[in-house]
C-alpha cells in the first residue's frame, strides 16, 4: 500500500480542511494516509506564536496582518524564514524517517520551505504543494516542488511567471469534500421560490462583521430566506438568535453555529455572502453559487476577492451599507445571476476530486524508477 504524509497546521481551518479532503480522496483510492500538524506536534512554542498571531491579527487588527502578508510576499525575506523553522525541520525530518512515506503533500505554505530544504540535503521523496488561495504567496515558491495543485488557471499563470515549470502545475481545484461534487436531487422540490435564498457565512473563526451584514439585509424589502453560519463563535450565534427572536417581515431567518451541512445549504441558496477564504470559495465554485463579498482579511483574501470580482464570479462590496443595492440588482435582473452561474460552471469544469490520485501515482512511480 502506498503511503502519503500530509502536512498541515492550524492557521485558520482551511489548511486542515484541505488535508482532510485529500485523506478522503486518497484513502478511497487505496492509499495509506498520515496527517501531521507540523507545528502543534513538533514545536508547541512556535505553534502558539504562529496560530495565536494569525487568529489575533486576522480577526482583531486585520490591516496589520495585511501589512505583514505583503512584507513577506518576497523572495528574499522568505529565504530568511529557514532560520525560524530550523528546529521544526529537524523534527519533521525524523518523523519522515520513521513513517517512510512514498509521497508528501503540504496544505500550508510553510511546508514548502521546510520540505524543499530537506530536499537540498538529499531527501528524494516527491512533494506536492497545495495552494489554498487563488494567488500564490511567495512562501509557496520553490523550483524543488515536484507538483503544484491550484484553484485556477490564473494561479498557474502566476506560478509560471515566477519561474515554475508549467507541466508540474495542475489547476484541478483546492481540495474540498466529495459531498460538494454531489447534487441533492431533493432540493428543487423543497425550495421555496417565493423567497430569494441567501447563505451568510462568517468563516471558521466566526467574524462578528457578519452581524452588520445581517443588519443591512433585514432592511431589504424583498422576501429573503437568510441562513447564517457563525462558525465556532458561539457568542455570535447567541447574539444573532436574540436579535432575530421576534422575526422580521418578509424574512425567514435560520441561525447556525458550526455546521457539517454547508453543501446542502449552498445547494439550496441563490447567493452566498461570505469573506473569500479559499476553501469556502472553492465549495461555492463547485456548486456554481455566485458570491457577494462584503469584507476581506487583507492579504490572501483581498487577492481572492480581486480574482473573483474581475472574472465575473462575485461582487466585491467595499461598503457594507451598499450590499442591498447589489442584492436588489441580482434579484431584479435574473440574467445577471444566470451569467455568473455560467462563469462559475466554466471554471469548475476543470475541478476534480480524483485527479490528485493520478498525480500522486505518477510521482510515486516516477520516483521509484
- Cβ pair 179, 152 in contact under 8 A: no
Residues in contact with 183: Cβ distance below 8 Å, sequence separation at least 6, in sequence order:
267
- CB atoms near residue 148 (< 10 Å): 24
- Per the document, the length of the chain is 369
Residues 335 and 246 placed together within one structural domain of the fold? yes
Residues 151 and 185 placed together within one structural domain of the fold? no
Residues 54 and 131 placed together within one structural domain of the fold? yes
- Residue 13's region, left for phi above 0, alpha for psi from -120 to 50, else beta, is alpha
Task: Characterize the bridge pairing of strands 169-170 and 147-149.
Answer: parallel
Residues 67 and 151 placed together within one structural domain of the fold? yes
- Residues 175 and 19: their CA atoms lie apart, in Å, by 8
Residues 219 and 344 placed together within one structural domain of the fold? yes
Tell me, what DSSP letter sits at residue 138? G
Residues 235 and 319 placed together within one structural domain of the fold? yes
Give the chain's domain count.
Answer: 2
Boundaries of domain holding 335: 180-348
Cell of 269: 441558496
Sequential pLDDT tens for the chain (369 residues): 899 999 998 766 788 899 999 999 999 999 999 999 887 765 566 656 666 566 665 666 677 766 676 777 777 666 666 666 677 888 899 999 999 999 999 999 889 989 999 999 999 999 999 999 999 988 899 999 999 999 999 999 999 999 999 999 999 999 999 999 988 877 877 777 899 999 999 776 657 788 999 999 999 999 999 999 998 889 999 999 999 988 899 999 999 988 888 999 999 999 999 999 899 999 999 999 999 999 888 888 899 999 999 999 999 998 999 999 999 999 999 999 999 999 999 999 999 989 999 999 999 999 865
Residues 49 and 143 placed together within one structural domain of the fold? yes
User: How is the beta sheet containing 271-274 ordered, strand by strand?
Assistant: 251-256, 224-229, 196-201, 271-274, 291-293, 314-316
Amino acid at each position: 500500500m502506498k503511503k502519503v504524509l500530509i502536512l498541515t497546521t492550524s492557521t485558520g481551518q482551511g489548511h486542515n480542511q484541505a488535508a482532510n479532503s485529500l485523506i478522503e480522496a486518497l484513502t478511497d483510492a487505496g492509499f495509506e494516509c498520515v496527517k501531521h500538524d507540523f507545528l502543534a506536534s513538533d514545536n508547541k512554542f512556535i505553534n502558539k506564536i504562529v496560530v495565536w498571531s494569525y487568529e489575533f491579527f486576522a480577526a482583531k487588527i486585520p490591516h496589520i496582518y495585511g501589512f505583514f502578508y505583503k512584507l513577506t510576499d518576497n523572495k528574499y525575506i522568505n529565504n530568511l524564514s529557514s532560520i525560524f523553522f530550523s528546529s521544526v525541520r529537524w523534527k519533521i525530518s525524523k518523523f519522515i524517517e520513521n513513517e517512510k512515506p512514498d509521497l508528501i503533500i503540504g496544505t500550508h505554505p510553510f511546508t514548502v520551505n521546510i520540505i524543499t530544504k530537506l530536499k537540498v540535503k538529499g531527501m528524494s521523496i516527491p512533494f506536492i504543494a497545495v495552494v489554498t488561495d487563488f494567488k500564490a504567496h511567495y512562501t509557496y515558491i520553490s523550483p524543488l516542488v515536484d507538483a503544484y495543485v491550484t484553484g485556477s488557471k490564473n494561479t498557474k499563470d502566476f506560478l509560471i511567471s515566477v519561474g515554475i515549470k508549467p507541466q508540474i502545475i495542475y489547476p484541478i481545484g483546492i481540495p474540498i469534500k466529495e459531498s460538494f461534487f454531489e447534487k441533492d436531487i431533493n432540493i428543487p422540490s423543497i425550495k421555496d421560490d417565493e423567497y430569494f435564498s441567501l447563505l451568510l457565512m462568517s468563516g471558521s473563526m466566526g467574524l462578528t462583521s457578519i452581524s452588520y451584514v445581517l443588519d443591512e439585509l433585514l432592511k431589504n424589502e424583498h422576501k429573503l430566506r437568510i441562513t447564517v453560519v457563525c462558525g465556532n463563535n458561539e457568542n455570535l450565534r447567541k447574539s444573532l438568535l436574540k436579535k432575530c427572536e421576534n422575526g422580521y417581515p418578509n424574512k425567514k431567518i435560520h441561525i447556525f453555529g458550526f455546521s457539517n451541512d454547508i453543501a446542502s445549504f449552498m445547494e439550496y441558496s441563490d447567493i452566498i455572502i461570505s469573506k473569500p477564504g479559499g476553501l469556502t470559495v472553492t465549495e461555492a465554485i463547485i456548486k456554481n453559487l455566485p458570491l457577494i463579498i462584503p469584507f476581506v482579511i487583507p492579504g490572501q483574501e483581498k487577492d481572492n476577492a480581486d480574482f473573483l470580482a474581475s472574472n465575473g464570479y462575485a461582487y466585491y462590496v467595499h461598503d457594507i451599507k451598499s450590499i442591498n443595492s447589489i442584492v436588489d440588482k441580482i434579484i431584479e435582473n435574473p440574467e445577471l445571476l444566470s451569467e455568473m452561474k455560467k462563469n462559475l460552471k466554466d471554471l469548475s469544469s476543470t475541478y476534480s476530486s480524483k485527479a490528485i490520485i493520478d498525480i500522486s501515482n505518477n510521482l510515486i512511480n516516477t520516483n521509484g524508477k
